[in-house]
Amino acid sequence: MAEQYFEMLWDCPQCATPELLGTTHRHCPTCGAAQDPARRYFPKPGAEVEASGHRFVGVDWTCTYCTSPNSAAAAFCGNCGGPKDGAKTAAIVPDNAPAPVPSAPVQSAISPKSKFSWARFVLAMGVLACVVLAFLFFSKHDESVQLVEKTWSRSVDVEQFSAVRSSDWCDAMPPDAYQVSRSREQRSTRQVPAGQDCIDVRSDMGDGSFTKRRECTPRYRNEPVFDTKCSYFINRWRLLRTDRLAGAANLAPNWPSPLLANTLLPANSLGAQRLGSRQENYRITVQSKQGKSWHCDLSPDVWSGLAENQALYLKVRGTGGADCASLKTQP
């Protein structure tokens, strides 16, 4: 199939006659001005005029003497007879380029520079704030403090073997699930083809004509994917309660001893109880001469080695927090 050509348009810069045809009107039919290839533009979509019978022989050349555009096949200017030698080829207009405007665009009254420097100012302040915070966090000073309070707490979890309600996709259901009920639910979405989006890409041939090429990209839509959801019961050890003991320096740390019910039931039968995990916490409160106080959670050994009213050194960050690992006894 032969390539189809359409007319590029140009407006006469001398008498303002609009929408002259690129291949047909090499000169303005009203005033005779020569066509300037650099001022060619694409017509609005739907307003294209076919250049019937046009054959592409190459990009136009612009006469050095009279600026007329000439066909690549011509060796001499059709207007003034000047030779082709050394002549420049016509400019190619990119698609979606705006039509040339006769007068220079008016300069915007608002300088874009003032907006730009505001953005820079805000950015600079943000960076400065980050630097100051980082400096305060990493800068530490020794604070002379006194230990004012020692506390401890110990807790033990109690677990019970219970029937737990749960749900999963049926292909991921544990094998010991029971009383299963099933339902259809959306599990995911998949993309299915739904036609294509096409646009015309136009190419300036540089000789007053242009060609069109259709470019298409596939379009997709989301479609729900359904699967079977299982609701079920399953027997598992679950946290029933947490027993806790707490005290100060006058009471030695001790573990709670929870009372378990149903201890005569065989293991792994519903209602059976057992001890779960244990947690312990050892905390001191220290105070500076200015009355500022800090908490530190310590290991049991370090905690038991300290006495109330003892004088200590503690490193304090510029941001106010204490570095508890730096705690030292004063000689």
In the complex, which residues of this chain contact Zn ion (CB under 5 A)?
12, 14-15, 17, 28, 30-31, 33, 63, 65-66, 68, 77, 79-80, 82
Q: Please say which residue, 13 or 318, places its beta carbon nearer to Zn ion.
A: 13
Q: Are 39 and 45 in contact (CB under 8 A)?
A: no
Q: Please say which residue, 39 or 317, places its beta carbon nearer to Zn ion.
A: 39
Closest listed residue to residue 33, CA positions, set 12, 55, 56: 12
Give φ, ψ of 79 to 5 degrees.
-95, -50
If you search the block for the tokens 């709670």, which residue do you land on?
256
Whole-angstrom distance, CA of residue 291 vs CA of residue 328: 19
Cα distances from 261 to residues 101, 244, 270, 275, in angstroms, run: 92, 18, 12, 11
Q: How far is the CB of 33 from Zn ion (least distance, A)?
A: 5
Q: How far is the CB of 50 from Zn ion (least distance, A)?
A: 24
Q: How far is the CB of 57 from Zn ion (least distance, A)?
A: 18
Reading the block at residue 151, the tokens are 């506390």
56's CB contacts (< 8 A; 6+ apart) are 3, 5, 205, 207, 209
Q: Please say which residue, 25 or 154, places its beta carbon nearer to Zn ion.
A: 25
Q: How far is the CB of 7 from Zn ion (least distance, A)?
A: 17
Q: How far is the CB of 77 from Zn ion (least distance, A)?
A: 3
Q: Taking the CA of residue 290 as centre, how many other CA atoms within 13 Å lie in the half-sphere pointing to its CB? A: 4
Q: Please say which residue, 77 or 316, places its beta carbon nearer to Zn ion.
A: 77
Q: Please say which residue, 21 or 316, places its beta carbon nearer to Zn ion.
A: 21
Q: Please say which residue, 159 or 207, places its beta carbon nearer to Zn ion.
A: 207
Whole-angstrom distance, CA of residue 49 vs CA of residue 209: 10
N- to C-terminal Cα distance for the chain?
A: 100
Q: Please say which residue, 58 or 300, places its beta carbon nearer to Zn ion.
A: 58
Q: Please say which residue, 28 or 286, places its beta carbon nearer to Zn ion.
A: 28
Q: How far is the CB of 32 from Zn ion (least distance, A)?
A: 7
Give φ, ψ of 18 to 5 degrees.
-90, 160
Length of the chain: 331
Q: How far is the CB of 109 from Zn ion (least distance, A)?
A: 34
Q: How far is the CB of 71 from Zn ion (least distance, A)?
A: 13
User: In angstroms, how far is CA 133 from the centroid of its own chain?
Assistant: 26
3-state helix, strand, coil in the chain (%, to 5): 10, 45, 45
